[in-house]
Amino acid sequence: MSALLELDDLHVWFDLGDGGELHAVQGVSLALDAGQRLGLVGESGCGKTTTVLGLLGLLPPSASVSGRVLLNGENILAGGEETIRPHRWNDLAIVFQGAMNALNPVQTVSAQIVEALELHHSSSGRAARARVAELLEAVGIPRDRGDSFPHEFSGGMRQRAAIAMALACNPSVLVADEPTTALDVMVQAQILELLDALCRDFGLALLLVTHDLPVVAQLCDRAAVMYAGEIVEQGPVDALYHDPRHPYTRLLFAATPDLQGNGVPISIPGAPPRLDRPPQGCPFHPRCDRVFSPCPTKHPPLRRLDGEREAACHLNDVPAGVTR
Amino acid sequence: MSANGRLLEVDDLVVHYPVVRGLLGAMARRPQQVVRAVDGVSFAVERGELLALVGESGCGKTTTAQTVLRLLEPVGGRIAFQGQEITTLSHRQLRPLRRRMQIVYQDPYESLDPRLTVRATVEEPLLIHRAGGSKAERAELVRDALERVELTPPELFLHRYPHELSGGQRQRIAIAASIVLGPDLLVADEPVSMLDVSVRAGVLGLLDRLREGGLGVLMITHDLSTAARFADRIAVMYLGRIVEEGPAAAVVGDPQHPYTKALLSVVPRRDPRERSRPQILRGEAPDAVRIPSGCRFHPRCPAAIADCREIDPALEPAGSGAGQRAACILAG
């Protein structure tokens, strides 16, 4: 059975204007099944947001995109905007980090959601207003607060409103880009609880883009770790934490402070490579603590390790039992 | 220097912000309302100690930190630095003290002047305070500060501009400019929240080593995991008050205040197997114009009893940690 949403070898280049080019996304492949929660994690500049903007056809004109985005087997990138538009909101919806920027400040929250419903031919008039009440309730906003303007809402309420709007046309996939990053920890917990309930109750598939590993560990089934425009490892979150197969995954967890852990977090030396001047070999090798002979020259492909795991690291080529 | 061992002692600090009532409000003689941002906060920082002041946005932690440095004026309470009361000193009297208490801000992309080289940035405080002696001596102090923030060799960085540096390096430069005067107290306001996870630990480790060298650090953070790993003691703020305070391990391992307990329960853990049962508080903290009667936390408290509406609890010894205290009539 094919996945609900599949990214197949997605590349994004940005034209830098001076003849230079920035290869921001370098062949990303991902699969998301109905009702599944996948975390796309990485640090700033790794290409995670560009990946999701690419899959939704929301990149600026200076970007060129190649690869396929299969929704129920149909390549929605095939015909550009023409083939993406019918699916945006209706099948694929997105929630951004800054909910204040996602909402129109001079329109009430209800009016904005009604507009979205009418624009996407989902419903109109009285039916649309009834749907808005239903949506607000689903995200925990009292019905009568729908007539408020976004600035009358707290940060958490705005993010709930943005989620309600994303859910307006009953999408099957919700893409959430850093949905809790600007929020306090208690409000974050409320929003994560809401996302969890929406996935459970409506069978929504979630693609959660974040730099926050613990959020992914708590909310997602699987995760893909991005570094320098590529996925370097993906698999079930439990396996990524307990048995990472790429040093970057291990070091990123080790750099993350944990409330109850004993160890002191350790930072990763160096900085990610510049994507307009990609390094030779493995992009992580200058920062890696297990670098060996092939790493500086040979680029490791993302390889399937077992049923559910993939990693792009030469260490996985070394036969078991052989220590370097 | 005084015989008093305390580097910084804050007692019953109160800071208010007036609410703008507008012309109509003033003409109608509506009463002037105030935001009680800091509403009776007491704590101390010792030499060689890192105290983390944690809480959600709007709880008053940044206002507290800025008032301690007299960047904001308190309406009540006292601040003593190395045994000397500084609450009412004039700005002129404060000047010689400024070099002994420094601040590092959250955003190293904002706090550094883009037109100044690293050398000029780190040297600037020396020039402002007419400290550091001759040009050659100042150059030596700048090199020394860069070495202490682990930007080595200093020659590699001296002539660079902020845009040529990574976020972690910029924050190290900001710290270098703060320690070049040899302060005794460093206030760090969310020092790593703008940085990538992979470099945060390095900057925090640096603060930890400066602390080992005798510096007292007051760190403002919203991140309990960071506080748990790097602080000696943690003070938890809610709506302008410290509701719990104690050794980091005790506050995290044996919390006494219901707010601390709830806050700790919702911190996501790294290990997916440690999926906690979060105790999610509904709504958000009320604004500091209308602070609830009695215990300010009672409207959201899962453990509240009738008395909580009446009694405004003081910080009293509670729990297993040395000096651990909580402001809850049910604790202890």
- Residues B288 and B237: beta-carbon distance below 8 Å: no
Give the C-alpha separation, B96 to B99, whole Å: 6
ipTM of predicted complex: 0.90
What pLDDT score was predicted for residue A154?
Answer: 85
Cβ contacts below 8 Å, chain A against chain B, sum to 127
Question: Cα dist. B255→A63, B5, B61 in Å?
Answer: 51, 28, 19
Which B residues 169-198 touch A at CB under 8 Å?
Answer: 196-198
Burial B199-222 (b: 16+ CB within 10 A, else e): bbbbbbbbbbebbeeebbbbbbbb
Residue A86 contacts B, CB cutoff 8 Å: no
Residue B246 contacts A, CB cutoff 8 Å: no
Beta pairing class for B233-238 and B50-54? parallel
Q: How far is B149 from chain A (nearest CA, A)?
A: 14
CA nearest neighbour of B16 among B44, B2, B35, B31 = B35
Judged on CB neighbours under 10 Å (0-12, 13-18, 19+), A260 is middle
What pLDDT score was predicted for residue A99?
Answer: 60
Radius of gyration of chain A from its Cα atoms, rounded to whole angstroms: 21
pLDDT tens-digit series, residues B82-98? 999 999 999 999 999 99
What pLDDT score was predicted for residue B330?
Answer: 94
B253 secondary structure, DSSP code:
H
Nearest CA in chain A to B282: A190
- Residues B41 and B241: beta-carbon distance below 8 Å: yes
Give the C-alpha separation, B46 to B215, whole Å: 9
B222/A185 touch (CB, cutoff 8 Å), yes or no = yes
* Minimal Cβ distance to B266: which of A185, A251, A255: A185
pLDDT tens-digit series, residues B107-146? 888 899 999 999 999 999 999 999 988 999 999 999 999 9
Give the C-alpha separation, A235 to A246, whole Å: 11
Give the C-alpha separation, A246 to A139, whole Å: 37
A186/B284 touch (CB, cutoff 8 Å), yes or no = yes
What pLDDT score was predicted for residue A280?
Answer: 92
Give the C-alpha separation, A35 to A55, whole Å: 19
Nearest CA in chain A to B231: A264
pLDDT tens-digit series, residues B54-85? 999 889 999 999 999 999 999 999 999 999 99
* Minimal Cβ distance to B198: which of A238, A252, A260: A252
Give first-to-last CA distance, chain A, whole Å: 40
Give first-to-last CA distance, chain B, whole Å: 37
CA nearest neighbour of A120 among A80, A148, A74, A86 = A86
Tokens of B175: 């710290």
Tokens of B136: 């050659």
Q: How far is B187 from chain A (nearest CA, A)?
A: 21
What pLDDT score was predicted for residue A270?
Answer: 87
A259/B225 touch (CB, cutoff 8 Å), yes or no = yes
What pLDDT score was predicted for residue B20?
Answer: 80
Give the C-alpha separation, B132 to B141, whole Å: 7
Residue B210 contacts A, CB cutoff 8 Å: no
Burial B124-143 (b: 16+ CB within 10 A, else e): ebbeeeeebeeeeebbebbb
A chain contacts of residue B223, beta-carbon cutoff 8 Å:
185, 257
B chain contacts of residue A251, beta-carbon cutoff 8 Å:
198
Beta pairing class for B50-54 and B216-221? parallel
Give the C-alpha separation, A97 to A182, whole Å: 7
B chain contacts of residue A156, beta-carbon cutoff 8 Å:
284
B chain contacts of residue A225, beta-carbon cutoff 8 Å:
none
Q: Over its length of 324 residues, how does chain A's per-residue pLDDT go in tens digits?
A: 579 999 999 999 999 888 888 999 999 999 999 999 999 999 989 999 999 999 999 999 999 999 999 999 999 999 989 999 999 989 999 998 866 677 888 999 999 999 888 888 778 888 888 999 999 999 999 888 999 999 898 888 899 999 999 999 899 999 999 999 878 899 999 999 999 999 999 899 999 999 999 999 999 999 999 999 999 999 999 999 999 999 999 999 999 999 997 788 999 998 888 888 878 999 999 999 999 999 999 999 999 998 789 999 999 987 765 554
Judged on CB neighbours under 10 Å (0-12, 13-18, 19+), A19 is exposed
Listed as ranges, residues in chain B with pLDDT below 50 are: 1-3
Residue A152 contacts B, CB cutoff 8 Å: no
* Minimal Cβ distance to B271: which of A212, A241, A265: A241
